[in-house]
Structure 1
Amino acid sequence: MLRSIATVGGWTMASRILGFARDMLIAAKLGAGPVADAFFVALRLPNLFRQLFGEGAFNAAFVPAFAGSYALEGPGRARALANSLAGLMTICLSGLVLLGIVFMPQLLFVLAPGFVGEALRFPLAVELTRITFPYLLFICLAALVSGVLNGMDRFGAAAAAPVLFNLVTMAALLGLTPHVATPAHALAWGVVASGVLQLAMLVAAARMAGMAINPLSRPRLTPEVRGVLRRMVPGLVGAGVTQLNLAIGIVIGSLLPAGAVSYLYYADRISQLPLGVIGAAVGTALLPLLSRQLRTGQALSAHRSQNRAIELTIAFALPAAFAMATVPQPIIRALFQRGAFDEAAAAATSAALVAYAFGLPAFVLVKALTPGFFARGDTATPVKVGLGVVALNLALNLVLTRHLSHVGIALATSVASWCNVAALAWLLMRRGRLVPDRRLRRAVPRLFGAAAVMAAVLLVLQAAIFPLAGGAARLAALALLVGAGLVAYFGAAQLLGGLDLREALRMMRRRK
């Protein structure tokens, strides 16, 4: 599992670094004003539907079925299952995209009510979202092909695909801006182009792996296809719950003064680095592994895999959370404060980052816990938990935004996520599917101690070097903080016994 996590995490790290470069360009060109708000809503909307139809519910139902079929019945049956679902997805999502483009003003009236009546933000958001909405079709199909590759234990191409998103959108921002109405229009066209290229790359990778996928295949409602669709139904509700949480943030953020949506976007992008690198990597590698182990009767191995996934998640999420809470302003100022992104925007974004940092370990732990349900075909339980989380998130948003403005939205998300983790972990333990072993119980408090040591080092270094840094020197100062923090954390974790770096090195050598 560590090898698979390293593959996914390495490519995701590359994508996140390029994503920061992209967001730095966006901040410099668009800042945190009305145009930026309109673009971020246009970007968020197809992503809401993508996570609803593509990655969450579909992968939870499809990957275990495909991995089991591939292992027990051979590649022919697995290929037929994938092609039938690809054809069905193409038909359904094409219709959804057409409806979305036609009724976009009505859709944004519901999702961004604060924009309605504004001379700039509402018409611009409608125009930009109509451009970006076809991205939904291409990226959902890309998620299907990624599930095929992951089910075959081929994680590299699927993890590398998001790199294209960042490269293409940066190229569009730099190359198309002089030829379209605003830089936001250039970005919107870049989003669509990146979806086409990601799908093309993954289809080619699957064909090279001997698993040719045709999105234009004629759907066949075989028993296997019907089984995946049945398992998708509670998963769709569960994914809908998650996306409803995100939609609540968009709705309430649109009602706040101009710039609030942008502040939350930039802060969320920072928190997405560990979430994407750690959470996505663990979840992606763990689901097919648990599915195979349970399908072949290896209950003890599945138990160990779940514990190690949680241990790795905590080991890498804690330092990221402590760092974001300890030195938020150096992070935001170094990455974004230039051009149209001024000091006031940096301060507002830093406050949101602290609130997201509180919930970061919970965001990532969810990715390590939900495979414990999905691998057993249980997509209903996370739905029931999620419904309560949505209600809690909405209530917290309504209360906290009155006093904390946009920071209240981030804090509400964090608190609701911790409640989600607590409920999922309790249910797994109650059913005997999660029993924290001695190694996990020993490691967690030591990892907290190592993170506290790292935070102290960062506070001292921040006071010593960052006030002296300006302009481009801020990036060098941030790099120094990151490097010193990593050395302090992993050194303390090794000394305290929270991590065994020698074991990790041995496993990586065996991989080579």
Structure 2
Amino acid sequence: MSLVKKFATVASGTLMSRILGFTREMFMAAALGTGPIADAFNAAFQFPNTFRRLFAEGAFNSAFVPLFAKEIEANGTDGAKRFSEEVFGVLFTALLALTIIMELSMPLIVRYGVAPGFAEQPQKFDMTVRLATIMFPYLICMSLAAMMSGMLNSLRRYFAAAVAPVFLNIILISVLAYAWYYDLTDFDIGYALAWGVLAAGIVQLAIVWAAVRHAGISIGFRRPHLTPNVKRLLLLALPAAVTGGITQINTLVGTAIASGVSSAVSSLAYADRIYQLPLGVVGIAVAIVLLPELARALKANNMAEAENLQNRSVEFTLFLTLPAAAALVVIAEPIVRVLYERGQFAATNSTPTVSAILAIFGLGLPAFVLIKAFTPGFFAREDTRTPMIYAAISVAVNLALAITLLPRMGAPGIAVASVVSGWLNAAMLFVTLQRRGHWGKDTGLLKRIPRLFLASAIMAGVLWYGSEWFAPYLHSGVRLHTQAPALLMLTACGALVYFVAAFAIGGADIGMIRRSVRRKAGTAPATNNELD
């Protein structure tokens, strides 16, 4: 299967999840708006969700995958099964202990970590504590599910792991539909959503567990024991967790700081959901597929293949995310209006704030995706320390800027801090890869990047003028059945202009795409001249 086809396999499942995520947020915006229950739920859910991405997705897709892939190469399926059982025993025991400690400490954690600004609002604070207590066991399910997903990715079985998150949104949409039908109160909706999150974690774990068994590996429980392989994993996993979850760390920092401003937490969450669509579909797909492929190339000492994998991944990333970023910047307000402006969201007049946050996030989208394309270059070489240091610097910059900008700009200041820190992190990763000789020069890529920027700028101009032309169909007083087709036509026109411009000025060409789709993993890469 070609690299692009693997990207597409993961991206299709992620796209399905993100579209349903939009639907979920639309329901939630209508039901809760940016009120206190929405703030409480988003803050409470951010806590276990961030831990999941740090110590599950980040750690295991960055540290576990290369070790598991090497175990398969060295000792076959039996060796990989033994290694998985050793890790499973330690991971489950550690997660159980962590969950018990967190559950008992939840009031202190919310007061001093998750949402310190809520402490002055007793009702919102108590609600956040209760919701976080219900949802935190979700971490156990999702961490174990992430381990199973890492195994599936190493075995080149991508779809089950990519489609499992869809069920979180299916369950929460069902909860919100039930709440609407039976006219539940805001408090009842908050509790129902929290229990829905926990149920979704159990369902997702069951899906990937079954997929791993179907792949021929049945994992049993072993008494926790720090074997040499497990020690090596832990040594790599801690810095990898911090690095792989840098975006989530910055989001958690932003949530904690924003908790002192009314409606800021939910406003950030609604904007985050929109820009997570291109970030998830492209960035996560690239990171998941690139890491095991790069690890195999390096294990085989195929440096030419490794360099080609990295360059093609960046090319693919920029080809899709630059126009997405331009669209988020130029037509943020119509997007937010069409997706969210109804019910309680419209009543609180939240559109301008969420639109401003979304436009700022759009400026950082290429950086957030490039981070996911650059970090496998370190992780595949078992260097997790360097990206961790850069991640720590990025978090410190984000924290300082967020504290400085929040009093002046409100919630959009949090977004500015996140974007600046994201670009800084991406720049440090890229410069280091180049200095170490781990990033090969690609003449074709260097020629195409500025042309992709130009094509995106042309598209942005079309969207700018197009939004003026479509304004009568997109303003607040128009019904959704008129707004949605108008926004769809506007974005379709923008996409058409981008692709025509990109191919016309040499940002992309049919031959390049055809070769990328047909190229099999492990075959000799094309030369720079062939890629021009």
For 1:61-105, what per-residue CA distance to the aligned partner results, in whole angstroms no more than 9, with x for missing partners?
Answer: 100000111123201101111122112111111111122121111
For 1:491-511, what per-residue CA distance to the aligned partner results, in whole angstroms no more than 9, with x for missing partners?
Answer: 111111111245435654789
Change (3 A) 1:248 1:231: same
116, 119, 122: which one aligns with 2:119: 116
420, 428, 452: which one aligns with 2:433: 428
Matched, 1:449 2:449: no
- Rounded Cα–Cα distance in structure 1 between residues aligned with 2:46 and 2:464: 34
- Rounded Cα–Cα distance in structure 1 between residues aligned with 2:164 and 2:279: 17
| 2:230 alignment counterpart | 225
| 1:418 alignment counterpart | 423
- Rounded Cα–Cα distance in structure 2 between residues aligned with 1:60 and 1:391: 22
For 1:206-232, what per-residue CA distance to the aligned partner results, in whole angstroms no more than 9, with x for missing partners?
Answer: 111112234x44334332222212222
| 2:523 alignment counterpart | none
Aligned letter for 2:391?
Answer: G
| 1:380 alignment counterpart | 385
Change (3 A) 1:482 1:237: closer
Matched, 1:58 2:64: no
| 1:332 alignment counterpart | 336
- Rounded Cα–Cα distance in structure 2 between residues aligned with 1:290 and 1:510: 15
| 1:491 alignment counterpart | 500
- Rounded Cα–Cα distance in structure 1 between residues aligned with 2:142 and 2:14: 16
Aligned letter for 1:92?
Answer: A
| 1:145 alignment counterpart | 148
Aligned letter for 2:364?
Answer: G
**Could you tell me how far 1:237 is from its partner in structure 2?**
4.8
For 1:474-499, what per-residue CA distance to the aligned partner results, in whole angstroms no more than 9, with x for missing partners?
Answer: 11111112211211111111111111
- Rounded Cα–Cα distance in structure 1 between residues aligned with 2:84 and 2:172: 29
275, 279, 295: which one aligns with 1:275: 279
Change (3 A) 1:306 1:348: same
Aligned letter for 1:471?
Answer: R
471, 481, 484: which one aligns with 2:490: 481
397-406 or 350-359: bigger deviation: 397-406
Matched, 1:125 2:131: no
- Rounded Cα–Cα distance in structure 2 between residues aligned with 1:240 and 1:226: 21
| 1:323 alignment counterpart | 327
Q: Aligned residues: percent identity? A: 43
| 2:219 alignment counterpart | 213
Contact 2:59 2:241 in 1 (8 A): yes
For 1:445-477, what per-residue CA distance to the aligned partner results, in whole angstroms no more than 9, with x for missing partners?
Answer: 110111011111212221112322412121111
- Rounded Cα–Cα distance in structure 2 between residues aligned with 1:184 and 1:305: 45
- Listed as ranges, the matches of 1:162-311 within 5 Å are 162-175=165-178, 178=182, 181-214=187-220, 216-238=221-243, 243-256=248-261, 258-311=262-315
Match of 2:111, SS state, is helix
**Could you tell me how far 1:59 is from its partner in structure 2?**
2.3
**Could you tell me how far 1:243 is from its partner in structure 2?**
4.9
Contact 2:459 2:498 in 1 (8 A): yes
- Rounded Cα–Cα distance in structure 2 between residues aligned with 1:183 and 1:125: 13
- Rounded Cα–Cα distance in structure 2 between residues aligned with 1:328 and 1:378: 38
| 1:471 alignment counterpart | 479
- Rounded Cα–Cα distance in structure 1 between residues aligned with 2:315 and 2:441: 10
| 2:396 alignment counterpart | 391
| 2:48 alignment counterpart | 46
For 1:371-403, what per-residue CA distance to the aligned partner results, in whole angstroms no more than 9, with x for missing partners?
Answer: 000000000000111221122111211221121
- Rounded Cα–Cα distance in structure 2 between residues aligned with 1:427 and 1:510: 28
- Rounded Cα–Cα distance in structure 2 between residues aligned with 1:218 and 1:154: 28
Change (3 A) 1:326 1:119: same
| 2:528 alignment counterpart | none
Change (3 A) 1:380 1:278: same
Matched, 1:341 2:345: yes
Aligned letter for 1:408?
Answer: G
**Could you tell me how far 1:260 is from its partner in structure 2?**
0.6
- Listed as ranges, the matches of 1:65-84 within 5 Å are 65-84=67-86
Aligned letter for 1:131?
Answer: I
For 1:115-152, what per-residue CA distance to the aligned partner results, in whole angstroms no more than 9, with x for missing partners?
Answer: 00313210110111111111110001100000000001
- Rounded Cα–Cα distance in structure 2 between residues aligned with 1:198 and 1:21: 19
Aligned letter for 1:246?
Answer: T
159-168 or 177-186: bigger deviation: 177-186
TM-score, normalization: structure 2? 0.92
TM-score, normalization: structure 1? 0.96
Gaps of 5+ in 1: none
Aligned letter for 1:7?
Answer: T
Match of 2:343, SS state, is coil
152-161 or 383-392: bigger deviation: 383-392
